[in-house]
Amino acid sequence: MDIYLAPDVPVTGTLIWYLHVCPREVWFMSRGITPYAYHRRLEYGRAVHQRHSDTVPLSLEGIKIDKFDRESNVVIEIKSMSRHLESARAQLSYYLFRLSELGLKAKGQVWVPDESLTEEIDNFNEDEVRNDVEKVKEIVSMETPPQRKWIKFCKKCAYRGLCWGDER
């Protein structure tokens, strides 16, 4: 699968994650417009990752795996809350596909430690992963961000001020 946005810029798992939250965020991230660094939720997410992730994460181009169980070949994606489970599944599917291309047949697990929630992901849909990668490429190639649209995630989004100012 061709994962390159530019010769040395791959589609990342984070972009796949954002694609399933809000496509506009993909565009912002691709332009280096990062969310407000001290946003409370982002800080909380970073703390959860620091507490539970591997000290030396397994990584390859576009991928940084939070935790990897080498004995059972399980890729664990840590999330601070279960709010974006669908995005987490898509991100993990991307990882599993990329690893399968390297000959590593792994399983996945979304783990939300603070909610004692785990969800196993044994398979991924190759067409859906390819489709996600193409969608990311399409959004990144746009000259302006996708139109803003008020969705259920806007209220607590770190980009809310940028998208909506004082309107909402």
Q: Summarize as ranges the residues that interact with ligand SF4 (CB under 6 A).
A: 22, 24-25, 148-149, 151, 153-154, 157, 159-160, 163
**Beta carbon nearer to ligand SF4, 105 or 152:** 152
The strand pairing partners of 60, in sequence order, are 63
Q: Please report the DSSP string for 51-110 in residue order.
A: HHS-SS-EEETTEEESEEETTTTEEEEE-S-GGGHHHHHHHHHHHHHHHHHTT---EEEE
For the bound state, the minimum distance from the C-beta of residue 23 to ligand SF4, rounded and expressed in Å, comes to: 8
**Beta carbon nearer to ligand SF4, 65 or 157:** 157
Q: Whole-angstrom Cα distance, residue 157 to residue 168? A: 12
For the bound state, the minimum distance from the C-beta of residue 125 to ligand SF4, rounded and expressed in Å, comes to: 25
Locate 75 and state its tokens: 């890729």
**Beta carbon nearer to ligand SF4, 58 or 162:** 162
29-53 CB burial, b ≥16 within 10 A, e <16: bbeeeebeeebeeeeeeeebeeeee
For the bound state, the minimum distance from the C-beta of residue 132 to ligand SF4, rounded and expressed in Å, comes to: 17
**Beta carbon nearer to ligand SF4, 83 or 130:** 83
For the bound state, the minimum distance from the C-beta of residue 152 to ligand SF4, rounded and expressed in Å, comes to: 9
Q: Whole-angstrom Cα distance, residue 100 to residue 116? A: 28
For the bound state, the minimum distance from the C-beta of residue 163 to ligand SF4, rounded and expressed in Å, comes to: 3
**Beta carbon nearer to ligand SF4, 40 or 149:** 149
